[in-house]
Amino acid sequence: MKFFTLFGSPVAHSISPRMHNLALKGLHVDGCYTRYHLKDGLKLRESFYKLRLDGANITVPYKEDALRQADFLDAFAKKIGAVNTLVNKNGQLHGYNTDALGFYRAIASFKDIDSVLILGAGGTAKAIASILKEKDIKTTILNRSNKRLGFFKDEGFEVYTWEDFNPKRFSLIVNTTSAGLKDDVLPLHKPLLSSLMKKADYAFDVIYNKTTPFMSLAKAHKLTCKDGADMLLCQGVLAFNLFFDNKFNETEITNHMRGAFSL
Ligand code: NDP
């Protein structure tokens, strides 16, 4: 039997176990995917082996711990500085990041994106900015504070704080902040966000399972909108196939996992 888990804190809210268990069952794999509330990120590797896992996903706030504790890193995960998928290969931990490609696949229906504004500068922003750069899409980062902008500056992105931002047109605005997750606040003050949305075509919020104030405002401005559900689904499909050395058909995994969103 194969064993998998989701490490994070908190993990109770996540639908990843449901997604993966539906895929395991649907594809007739003798396996089980659980959730594990990890209190100390330094114990990630130790916990992985204690649980005799074949693979794991890592969520907030341990993606950087996973990066440091893996034996081998996929080049893209190394570049982003965050690992959300660990695979046990002959006793050694291989680290990957599927959030970035998951996001890119989730926006496949957004056509002709020429410029993107990312709100926030955390781990998710790094993943999204890196994949957009790889796809040659001009990307600007706007964060409320300076403290996490170093990575983006070093990577050659245009970066701003609320104080020095010079508004212009962006075709897609992405909220990667946690504003709206547990509260009802916008990730940017309303007059500025409204003026940006007036000129934009698309809005994407990485948060899923609720209509955030960011999404409500984007809908009021009649933007084409998406929340983080498809990103979660796509990163899950990619992670599942990493667990099994790409032996399953992605469409089939997707169809099974999609059931987790309709329960
Ligand atoms: P981090 O903690 O690494 O970064 C959070 C960012 O949000 C920081 O830049 C922070 O600014 C900013 N921020 C937080 N609160 C506010 C606020 N009230 N107003 C403005 N800015 C704010 O988080 P992650 O990047 O790891 O995760 C962010 C979100 O992405 C979470 O909600 C997570 O659930 C979601 N997510 C969704 C995924 C999906 O598949 N749909 C996958 C991965 C994550 P500062 O630097 O100033 O502190």
Q: In this predicted model, what pLDDT tens digit does every residue of 81-138 receive, in sequence order? A: 999 999 999 999 999 999 999 999 999 999 999 999 999 999 899 999 999 999 999 9
- What is the arithmetic mean of pLDDT over 63-72? 97
**226 among known catalytic residues:** no
Give which of 152, 104, 156 is closest to 126, Cα–Cα: 152
Whether omega before 61 lies within 30 degrees of 0, making that bond cis, reads: yes
Closest approach atom of ligand 1 to CA 82: 26
Report yes or no: 85 and 53 within 8 Å, Cβ to Cβ. no
- Ligand 1 in reach of 187 Cβ (< 6 A): yes
Closest approach atom of ligand 1 to CA 126: 25
The pTM of the full predicted model, rounded to 2 decimals, is 0.94
- What is the arithmetic mean of pLDDT over 26-49? 98
Report yes or no: 208 and 15 within 8 Å, Cβ to Cβ. no
Rounded CA gap, 129 and 204, in Å?
13
- Ligand 1 in reach of 144 Cβ (< 6 A): yes
Q: Which residues contact 76 (CB under 8 A, 6 or more apart)?
A: 96, 97, 100, 130
- Strand arrangement of the beta sheet that strand 115-119 belongs to: 158-161, 138-143, 115-119, 172-175, 202-205, 224-226
Rounded CA gap, 117 and 122, in Å?
14
pLDDT of 80 over the 80 cut:
yes
Q: Give the mutation target among 145, 206, 208 for probing the ligand 1 site: most ligand atoms within 8 A of CB.
A: 206
Rounded CA gap, 206 and 158, in Å?
21
pLDDT digits (tens, 9 = 90+) for 182-201: 899 999 999 999 999 999 99
Query: What is the model's pLDDT at position 263?
Result: 58
* 13: confidence class by pLDDT, cuts 50, 70, 90: confident
Q: Give the mutation target among 64, 84, 173, 177 for probing the ligand 1 site: most ligand atoms within 8 A of CB.
A: 177
